[in-house]
A = this chain, B = another copy of it.
Amino acid sequence: MGLENHATQKRSGAAGGSLPTTTTNPRRTSSGLPRGRQIQKTFNNLKITILCGFVTILVLRGTIGVGNLGGGADAEAENQKLIAETNRILAEIRSDSDPTDPSEPEPEFNPNVTYSLGPKISDWDQQRKIWLQSNPQFPNYVNDKARILLVTGSPPNPCDNAIGDHYLLKSTKNKIDYCRIHGIEIIYNMAHLDKELAGYWAKLPLLRRLMLSHPEVEWIWWMDSDALFTDMVFEIPLSKYHNYNLVIHGYPDLLFEQKSWVALNTGSFLFRNCQWSLDLLDAWAPMGPKGPVRDEAGKILTANLKGRPAFEADDQSALIYLLISQKQWLEKVFIENSYYLHGYWAGLVDRYEEMMEKYHAGLGDERWPFVTHFVGCKPCGSYGDYPVERCLKSMERAFNFADNQVLKLYGFRHRGLLSPKIKRIRNETDTPLEFVDQFDIRRPVHRDTDPKGL
């Protein structure tokens, strides 16, 4: 602009045949413009140049990223490309080709129809007893231990937050380890059995289906995917529950006196495989169906349970409300808090080093929590109730704290509770079986004498 004028002026001057000279007019520069105008032009040019430079930087930033000038640029671009391609493919994979059900429409609300988990069964105890007698190869007690089926799961789609799948994987390994050591079978569910009872309610139809499909199982143990075993030695004292059908962590005073919405925790509980449990599930389910039923039920729960925020009905609040409204159920409910069948993580995760110093595995309580449950962290979703950093670090610590107890048999432990690396804790020998006798958790020595462990 200014430069073009300058050039034009010069060409005019040259065409005129004379070389431009310093003007005799002190107010004019060699380009023939007044000084004021020259300053103005220079200033304009400077502004344009700065703007252009700024634009260039922004364009570069948008392309390669500020922090990536240099070697990281290619990797970052490649990674972004991979992520984008992966997301595109996943969206394709997830599209359901069934033309009659292109999405998940809200079920039509019919107030005349009460939701049902399935056909009413009234003689399940009898059916099961006959079946067990006819199938001695599938006993419900093995080596005098009642058969337990641990049930957990997660949605079939990748987590919103990439790190979520990694911690689901670690949580699954953690459960595999505990269950291998204690002879417990695992069902990892990734299917929505009932569209109406989705989300946290999904465990209800699942529990029913598993009870009816696995008559050989005596106890079904639901455990959330965000709950980790942190005492690899402790075993559930099933003999305590001989006369009970539901074992759940909670506090009676919170339940009966305060009617608190966190009086019980449905993140880790056991159901006996029997008629009573089927009946309880039937009584529990009605607040669950998605839509107006769940929304309205949520209001009732918020109005009646202390501290409950306003949101749709959740299974935990509904169970609490059911038990305090229909007290006849309580006769068969064991509200357990002598060990951490569910251990709220925030008060536990910072004390693992202290625990390792003072106590040992096998206690299951506040000294060495049986289960550390990461309530509210939601690593699979986008919006947890706690800072991401705190949650991830704490889950890592809990995982390694538990893993140390498994690795002990093999002669290793983690370098630190935040470290994925391991180190030897004893030298190998040519008589390895002495360590098996000493360190295998399944060995009776761990069960009887409660030796000082980790």
Contact = CB atoms under 8 A, between A and B. Distances in A.
B131 A79 contact: no
A240 interface: no
Given A5-B40, A190-B420, A191-B420, 11 more contacts: A51-B52, A79-B382, A82-B382, A96-B416, A96-B421, A97-B416, A138-B442, A177-B188, A190-B403, A212-B433, A215-B433
Interface in A228-248: none
29 contacts: A1-B44, A44-B44, A48-B48, A58-B58, A78-B382, A82-B382, A85-B389, A93-B392, A94-B419, A94-B420, A96-B415, A96-B421, A97-B418, A98-B415, A98-B416, A98-B419, A119-B430, A128-B433, A137-B143, A157-B420, A158-B163, A169-B169, A170-B190, A172-B188, A180-B185, A180-B187, A209-B411, A212-B433, A212-B436
Interface of A: 1, 5, 40, 43-44, 47-48, 51-52, 54-55, 58-59, 61-62, 75, 78-79, 82-83, 85-86, 89-90, 92-94, 96-98, 101, 118-122, 127-128, 131, 137-138, 143, 154, 156-163, 165-166, 168-170, 172-173, 176-177, 180, 185-188, 190-193, 209-210, 212-215, 382, 388-389, 392-393, 396, 403, 407, 409-412, 415-416, 418-422, 428-433, 435-436, 440, 442
Contact of A436 (B85, B98, B213): B213
B176 A186 contact: yes
Contact of A131 (B160, B213, B433): B433
Given A52-B51, A62-B62, A169 B154 contact: yes
A94 B400 CA distance: 13
Contacts of A101: 415, 421
Nearest to A120: B430
Contacts of A160: 79
A125 to B, nearest CB: 12
A274 B119 CA distance: 53
Interface of A is mostly: helix
Contacts of A410: 193, 209-210, 213
Given A186-B180, A410-B209, A119 B428 contact: yes
Contacts of A166: 158-159, 165
Contacts of A47: 1, 48
Contact of A165 (B165, B419, B420): B165
Given A96-B416, A158-B162, A215-B433, A422 B193 contact: yes
B172 A412 contact: no
Contact of A409 (B120, B127, B176, B213): B213
B213 A432 contact: yes
Given A83-B162, A213-B436, A421 B192 contact: yes
A422 B191 contact: yes
Contacts of A435: 213
B127 A192 contact: no
Given A86-B163, A158-B163, A382-B82, A430 B121 contact: yes
